[in-house]
């Protein structure tokens, strides 16, 4: 399966600006991207597939083929889909670069789910992963993209299925998400947070990540 991993190289993770500097956000986003690429490479799909393409807004140094496209996310992904013409025998997966908890196993469950369009919903109405096996389906990440992608699939007569995965649902966007990486992560993103001084705080309610 061909996989594309969109990456915002220039202004990554703006909703973490309250807890990380811009340089730290770049480093942390790069660590999460490395986590995702490692899990993709370890998944069964990797055996007979091309390596994932990092679809980035600016050149980045990363252990994967890179395609630079400065357009907004949806336009850049749709341009990729336009070129590939996805179908049952030529699916294209779109996997976000901030899924620091994604594992080979959770990605395999995504890739092995049948359907013209397969969605891994993100928290807050987002779409964290897609598998596209229909030539006419196109993405729109603006707004409640989970609902929009269901409607878009139906509008072109494509069957659509959801994948029920916590690891694929947690995109690391907001300070509360950092605790998830500390608790459940096991790769470069977690190491980066620990190195930056983040620890868990349990002052009632959900656990938070804090640093002195």
Q: Which stretch binds a copy of itself (CB under 8 A): 18-26, 55-63, 69-77, 179-187?
A: 179-187
Q: State which residue, 30 or 121, has the beta carbon closest to a copy of itself.
A: 121
- Distance from C-alpha of 208 to C-alpha of 200, rounded to nearest angstrom: 6
Residues 6 or more apart whose Cβ sits within 8 Å of residue 142 = 74, 148
Name the token pair of 93.
Answer: 């997966």
Q: Judged by CB under 8 A, does residue 72 bind a copy of itself?
A: no
Q: Judged by CB under 8 A, does residue 160 bind a copy of itself?
A: no
- Distance from C-alpha of 207 to C-alpha of 178, rounded to nearest angstrom: 10
**φ, ψ dihedrals at 200, nearest 5°:** -90, 140
What is the nearest approach in angstroms of a copy of itself to the Cβ of residue 63? 26
Alpha helices (H) in 53-165, listed in sequence order: 73-84, 104-111, 145-155
What is the nearest approach in angstroms of a copy of itself to the Cβ of residue 166? 4
Which residues within the stretch 74-103 sit at the binding site for a copy of itself (CB under 8 A)? Answer: 103
Q: Judged by CB under 8 A, does residue 184 bind a copy of itself?
A: yes
| Coil, strand or helix at 154 | helix
What is the nearest approach in angstroms of a copy of itself to the Cβ of residue 212? 19
What is the nearest approach in angstroms of a copy of itself to the Cβ of residue 167? 5
Cα torsion angle, 31, 36, 37, 43, sign: positive
Q: Which of 129, 160, 169, 193 binds a copy of itself (CB under 8 A)?
A: 169
- Distance from C-alpha of 186 to C-alpha of 202, rounded to nearest angstrom: 21
Which residues within the stretch 112-151 sit at the binding site for a copy of itself (CB under 8 A)? Answer: 121, 123-126, 143-144, 146-147
CB atoms within 10 A of CB 119: 23
What is the nearest approach in angstroms of a copy of itself to the Cβ of residue 124? 2
What is the nearest approach in angstroms of a copy of itself to the Cβ of residue 90? 28
Name the token pair of 80.
Answer: 């990729």
**φ, ψ dihedrals at 160, nearest 5°:** -135, 135
Q: State which residue, 81 or 170, has the beta carbon closest to a copy of itself.
A: 170
**What does the binding site for a copy of itself look like in residue numbers (CB under 8 A)?**
15, 103, 105-106, 109, 121, 123-126, 143-144, 146-147, 164-170, 173-174, 176, 179-180, 183-184, 200, 202, 205-208
């Amino acid at each position: 399966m061909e996989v594309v991993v969109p990456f915002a190289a220039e202004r990554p993770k703006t909703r973490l600006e309250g807890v990380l500097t811009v340089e730290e956000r770049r480093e942390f986003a790069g660590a999460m991207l490395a986590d995702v690429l490692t899990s993709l490479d370890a998944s069964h799909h990797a055996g007979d597939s091309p390596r994932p393409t990092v679809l980035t807004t600016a050149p980045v140094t990363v252990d994967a083929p890179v395609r630079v496209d400065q357009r907004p996310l949806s336009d850049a992904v749709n341009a990729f889909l336009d070129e590939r013409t996805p179908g049952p025998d030529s699916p294209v997966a779109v996997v976000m670069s901030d899924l620091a908890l994604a594992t080979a196993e959770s990605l395999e469950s995504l890739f092995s789910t049948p359907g013209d369009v397969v969605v891994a919903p993100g928290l807050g109405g987002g779409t964290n992963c897609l598998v596209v096996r229909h030539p006419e389906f196109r993405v729109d990440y603006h707004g409640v993209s989970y609902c929009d992608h269901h409607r878009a699939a139906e509008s072109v007569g494509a069957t659509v299925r959801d994948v029920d995965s916590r690891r694929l649902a947690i995109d690391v966007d907001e300070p509360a998400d950092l605790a998830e990486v500390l608790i459940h992560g096991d790769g470069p993103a977690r190491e980066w947070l620990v190195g930056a001084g983040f620890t868990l705080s349990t002052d009632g309610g959900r656990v938070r990540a804090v640093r002195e």
